[in-house]
Every structure is written in C-alpha cells, then in structure tokens.
Structure 1
C-alpha cells in the first residue's frame, strides 16, 4: 500500500470533491467556483485529473428553484445508469424563519440522470427535486447501496432543531424518490460542530471491514471546518439511529504544520489495488478576503486512508501540497494555470 497519491491537490479550485472509480477510470466532479453549472472530468489516474478536459453536463436555469448557487454535485452509478445529486437555490438570499435559525440559504436537492455509457458525452435528463418529506434548506445528498437497497443520506434544516443542518437517512424507491420517511442520525451538538455555524453537512459513506463509516463536516467553511464520523455495523438496521455511534471529536482537522486548513466535505474512492482513498477539499492559507463562500481556493486533495490491526480507519492529518496552488489573489485561467 502506498502512503499517498503522487501529487496534491488532484484538482485546483474545486471544493466539495466527489471521485468515483468505474471500469478502471476516475470520474471527478465538485463545486464550480461560479456556482452556475455541473462539470465532470475523467482520467486513468488521480494524478491526471487536473490536466483532464472538463465538460459541462448541466447549467443553472435562468430563473426558478435551480437558478442560483449550484453546490456540491456528487456522481453515482446505480443499476447501470449515472446520477448526479446536487443542491440549487432560487436566489442568493438567506432567511430567518425559525427558532434559533438565521443566515440560512434556500437550497433543495435535485437529481439528473444519464443512461448512456459515457457520462461526459451522454444526454443528461432532469429527474427533479428529491422530496425529503418537508420543505427547508437541504443539500449535500450522497447515496450508497447495501444488501441491494439504495439509501440516501443528506443534510437538511429542521426549524425545531437549533442550527443550520442535521444529517438524515432514508431508503430509496428509485434514485430520485425516497421510499419511507427520513430518519435523523446526527445534529450539531459538540463544540467543534458549531464554530461560526451550527452545521452537520457533506456526508459520505465508506463500507469496509464489516462496518459503515458515515463521515461528515461541521462548522463554518474556514479554518474551523473539520470532519467527523458515525459508525455502524454493516448488518445493523441502518434506519435506526441507535445503530450508529458518533465520535464526539473530529477525526480530520486543519494542520498548520502541513499548511492545510479547513479540510472537509469528503468522498471516498480507491486505488487500482483496492486501497481506500480519502478525497477532501482544503485551503492553503487562513486569511480570506470577503465571504469565504466566494473564495475559489478550496482545492480537491486525496490521500490513501490506512487501517489499523482491528480494521479501523487511521484518519491521520492532511498532507502538504506537492503542486503549486493559487494564493488568495490568484485566479485560474481556462487552461488551469495561474
């Protein structure tokens, strides 16, 4: 097992990275800095994703619920078809419409589908909004299949729960329709989850060694952003909150020694040899001019995730960059140079 990917970041200026390995190739998507489209790129190696051509597969609507702030697309393969889950909003406004609720966006979760073999050249069809059971700020949907059952995990606000978003899980009837009510698995409660914002978001599920690891991110998106984890036995009732054990401490945090800050919103993929790879975004500086949301320099990074003798992940710490990265005043041109 190698201890790291050959180069980091694997893609510059793409936050909320999602990498899917399929038929020996890596498919990458993440939040586009203008928040106006969904993009894909593909390469044989993680190290080659930065240089891979980027294809726009969907663009925001001119108006309506999918016209602003397209966030955190995730690509999945279910029953021989491609699906991308993403969040979008009707505007850039925030609301203040519940107890302890403020500074909340108006996002909902949507799905597009491609039945063609090649998702970069194929036709993508809108499957619409995922009805999660109630209307409120919702984002960061991910999906996994266990024992032939597809599940959706996502972040959503409940006005009766203090904070901006909690984590929920539900079975799926098909890739765009839930098959039963949402179950809350986690809410912001620990000090590390409530710095700046009260947030549980960006879930991702790893199935390994008879366990499920549900990672997520908490707090605001600066240096305080960090990853936590919930763990369940693979044969447990995944819709029972009691099946999941939540770590009270974050498992992946900023590391000034490595020059990496605010690591989070991760996904998982694997090496050609089957080793687990942790994919995440982070910044290389702490001083951000203006709203951190519009700072483009959250970069997609990746590193091999080792396991101890008992089969538990050894989360470690973000690795230093080995590729030049932009500063707070740099902007990439279309060629990927700065």
Structure 2
C-alpha cells in the first residue's frame, strides 16, 4: 500500500560489477511457456490484485499503480499480463495515493472502488467509486460518483450482495488496538455509491500475528459456501514478511451487521512460506476457473524476505474446502502448477457470430452452442491469447447431427482458411476435431469459422501447446515493460547524432517503437531502429545509471545485449560492456520515463521485458 523507491549503490569496480552480474544469470529459471502448466508469480508487479470472471468469458483485473487506474482484460487468468490493458482513469488534481482498486459488475453496470487521499494522509483517506454503463469496461466513459460516505476514514473498499441486499466492507482507521491502525467495518448500502447506515466493526487486531509492524486488519473479501459466509482479511503491516490472511465466519441466515454473528480464527489461515520462497502473502481476491470446476485464490506476495510494500507480484493457486465447509488455502507456492481448468478454453457463444444461431444446449460446456446453419454463417473469436509465439493444437468441440461429411473453414489471423472435417456425432453427442495453428504471443489472435458443408454446432475451442521463448534474428519487435505497460521508444529517431530512448504509450508498431533484432557472432544481440538505422546504445557506460539512446551502429560492446529468459514470457537484457540490465528509470510507469542500464535487481519490475514480434 505504500510506494517505495529504489536505493542504488556503487560497486568499487566496474569489473567486479560485470563479473557479479554475468554470473547471476543462472538465478533465473527458464522453461517453455505452456497452456498446461504455469509458475507464480503471474506478473512482475501486482500489489492488491482484484480479478473477476464476467459472463462474457473474460477475466478483468485491477491492481495498485499509485497514480492511475488500469484494467486488464484477458481470456486466460494465468496469461493476464499478456492481455489487453488500458488506462481508464487518471485522478484530478489534489487526489493522490490511488490504491487497491476493485472492479465489480452490479446490475449490469461496472464500478471501480479505489482508495485515495487529498494530501493529509490517513486522516483524509477514503474510498471512491466510478461508474460505467458500457458492456465492456475498457470502452465507454467512467463517471465519478464521488467519495463514499463512510463513518470512518479508511481504505480497501469492497462490496458484496447477500439475499438481495448490498453491503460495503472497508478497513476503518482508528486506535482499535491501543494505537493507530485499521479494523474491518461493514455498512449497508442503498446503491453502489451510497452507504445507508452506520458502520459496525467486525474485527480488529488482537492477536500477535495481526500486529506485526502495525495493528492492521485490511483488504476484506467474501466467500460463501454451504450456508456460511466467510470474510477473509489481511493482517499486520504490508512491509512485514508476516503479513498474512485471517478469517471470520458467520451463518448465512444471521444478521451480518451484528459483530456477534461472526467468529474469528485465532491463527492465520494463509501465511509466508520460506521453503517455497513466498513472503507477505495477502490482499487477495477469489475467482472460479473458466469452467467453474475450481476455486482460485489470487493474492500478492514477495519473492524474497525484506522486500516490504514494493512490487508484490500477483500469484494464483487453487484452494479446496474442509469437511466443515470452510476454505483450505494450503501454503503459498511458486509451483509449477497445473493451469486452472479451462484457462485456454473459449466458449463459442463468447465469440461474434454472424448469420448463425446461438442456442441453449444442455450438453454444451457453457450451456450454449453456436450453430453455423446458413450458407454465409460465420463465427469470429477475437482476443485469443497464448503465452508464447509458436505452434498450438486447436481443439474444436462440436456436435454434428446433419451428415457424415460435415466440415468448416477455419482461418487464423487472416491467413488462408483450411477445411476441417467434423464427422457425425449423433444427437446431443460431442466430439473433438484438432488442427495445428500458428499463433502470436499475447491476445492479438483471431480465429474464424465459416460454414462449409452441413450445419454444425460449435461448443468451444481450446488451445494446447508449449513453446520456448526465442528471438527470430532479423525480425522486428516491440519491447514492453509490463510494470507500466509502456513501449521502448526512440525520441525523434531520425534526428542527427545521438537520440535518447524513453517509455511511451504502446502504438503497436509505430516507427519509433520498432526494433530489428540482429544476432551477433558472439551470441549477443543488437537492436536497430529500422526507420533510422541506429542501434540501441549505452551512451554513458561509465555512469552508475547509464542512459540508453540511439547511435550509429559500429559493433561496439555498448551496442550489444545478452538475452536472459526469466520464464513466464519475460526476459531481461544485459549490456555486453557494463553487464548491467536494461532498466526503466525509477521503475517509472508513466509515458516519458527514461531508459538506461542499472545493476541487476532480482525481481525488479523495471528490468523485465515482454517482446512481441511485429512482422
């Protein structure tokens, strides 16, 4: 919940720095990106994660950025960081510390609840709400509904519906445990932006595990199961490795506004695992798998001890239920883990049909199918996401009662269509047909079906495959720093002499953001901006933070870069002369942040890059 700044230091010798950096490469795991398995964390920075699965088949995700609100939209939970991302709101003057946003859909409208203050710290910190009536929260406009009328200053607001009544939970500031801290408060709501009554304190810090660093109960979220309601909250200060989760339980038929209705756990139910390398796990949300067969906890946690309230990348793992109906979250883990069930499945009804029939069908995966029943029937499925560029198996679940020789035309990303045979299945029976397809990394893939012979019901498509990150020498790429979502850009690349680089809004292939990557004889790579012919160069290599820019290519070591695959689709680049990593200054997330080189920071979000091929 608190912003941190990188604290740098110098080694006595650049030679020593070079040796230490280059011998640290083995610390980064490398593995093929797969639709079957994944590893935590799922992003490089992800404090206060909130995710929901909407009826349109997309996951929507928010996290703390500090100075704006971004929404991620993805058909896969574990590949969320590769999904579409958009800044939907920036604060007006005077509003700061934008924390813990949550996106909700209530009665067909979108709401984002976020924490902010007006400059006087905790005393004027509160929860604010935005509203959007567009079917897609990345479209339309967000209307400011103002600050919620909470009884106490506070943070970490969330809403839930129970028996047709809307409730609001937040972390209320006060001296609840003898010194300044926070407790979980509840209040009824008359609408999604107005409280309708006083706040009741449901839990305050009282056990040692809730008072590490500061007496804190925060980040409340609700689970329901077997006639019980569970309120899961985070305890202790976020900068403590012992930040953890506690739980309250109440009978679903009880008065939820009455503190006496709730029973509190005496021990944390989810805490650090030094053995697994996860520290300070907390501020979570819950979401089902795409097919509804698994329950998942989404939380932030540090990779190493003592990292405090820093990037806190997001983690996802399944949880189970105890015999008494209470949740069993297990132990935080980095995996590898099996991808949540159906994570790379897309229901046909979540595509865009044209002159086709969307019909309910009891045996279908999502309860519906798309029937391509006319000569010009088609189905377009956009935003098809995969974790890495390469070949995948496209599995098509279908039902064919029309004839033994039915087929469909299938095209991928505008390439020529292929004919896929869909043999007879019998009434209300399903089968799977498979073809190999080539897909781009990320969400920018489109798969289209066109009726060929006989009417066929399409239930869903599902992708399967595993591909290792690699560079195609001579190809053009854009480089995205996932922390801010901005692209590495040359500032006026055709200007005479040296040109600086900065992070800019992703133009998806604008001339200043295109980089032709050449493989050098020594195994390093060079980045050349095709528009100017100049190479990415460390302009001042002797500086502690060496500014990166463009200069005429001369084959210098300052223009050569060592690639390290860090897993999960990310990579790092180390300069051949200095051994330092390509770095966004100050881990900046805004357009205009400078780019240079800095000593390797394991887990540092300023130094991770996503590469997307443009040709």
TM-score tier, shorter chain, comes to: 0.7 to 0.9
The alpha-carbon deviation at position 312 of structure 1 amounts to: 2.1
Match of 2:231 in 1: 214
The counterpart of 1:126, out of the listed 144, 148, 162, is: 144
Does the 8 Å CA contact 1:214/1:229 hold for their aligned counterparts? yes
How far apart, CA to CA, are the structure 2 residues paired with 1:169 and 1:321?
36
Q: In structure 1, how many angstroms separate the alpha carbons of the residues matched to 2:50 and 2:288?
A: 12
1:318 and 1:105 map into 2 onto residues whose CA distance is 34
Q: Distance in 1 between matches of 2:327 and 2:277?
A: 23
Paired positions, count: 312
Higher-RCO chain (CA-CA 8 Å, sequence separation at least 6): 1
Report if the CA contact (8 A) 2:45-2:605 is conserved.
no
Residue 184 of structure 1 corresponds to 201
Partner of residue 304 from structure 1, selected from 293, 298, 318? 318
Give the corresponding residue for 2:297.
Answer: 278
Higher alpha-carbon Rg: 2
Alpha-carbon displacement from aligned partner over 1:70-114 (angstroms, at most 9, x marks no partner): 0000111111111111101122x55xxxxxxxxx46411100011
CA 1:60–1:327: 2 relative to 1, 3 Å: farther
Q: Greater strand percent: which structure?
A: 2
Whether the aligned pair in 2 keeps the contact of 1:164 and 1:199 (CA below 8 Å) is yes
Residue segments in structure 2 that go unaligned for 5+ positions in a row: 1-35, 337-566, 571-600
Say whether 1:25 aligns with 2:58: yes
Name the counterpart of 1:46.
77
Distance apart, 1:252 and its partner CA: 0.4
Query: What is the alpha-carbon root mean square deviation over aligned residues?
Result: 2.1
1:246-282 deviation line (CA, Å, top 9, x unaligned)? 0011000000111000000011110123221111000
Are 1:87 and 2:362 counterparts? no
Task: Give the Cα separation in 2 of the matches to 1:7 and 1:210.
Answer: 34
Contact 1:5–1:46 (8 Å) recurs in 2: no
Equivalent-residue separation in structure 1 for 2:97 and 2:63 (angstroms): 13
Aligned mates of 2:273, 2:41 — CA distance in 1: 15
Q: What is the alpha-carbon distance in structure 2 between the residues aligned to residue 122 and residue 45 of structure 1? A: 23
Query: 2:414 is matched with which residue?
Result: none
Question: What secondary structure is seen at the aligned counterpart in 2 of 1:122?
Answer: coil
* 1:212 shift after superposition: 0.8
CA distance in structure 2 between the partners assigned to 1:332 and 1:127 by the alignment: 37
Contact 1:5 1:303 in 2 (8 A): no
Superposed displacement of residue 331, structure 1: 1.2
1:305 is paired with a residue whose SS is strand
Number of the residue aligned with 2:106: 78
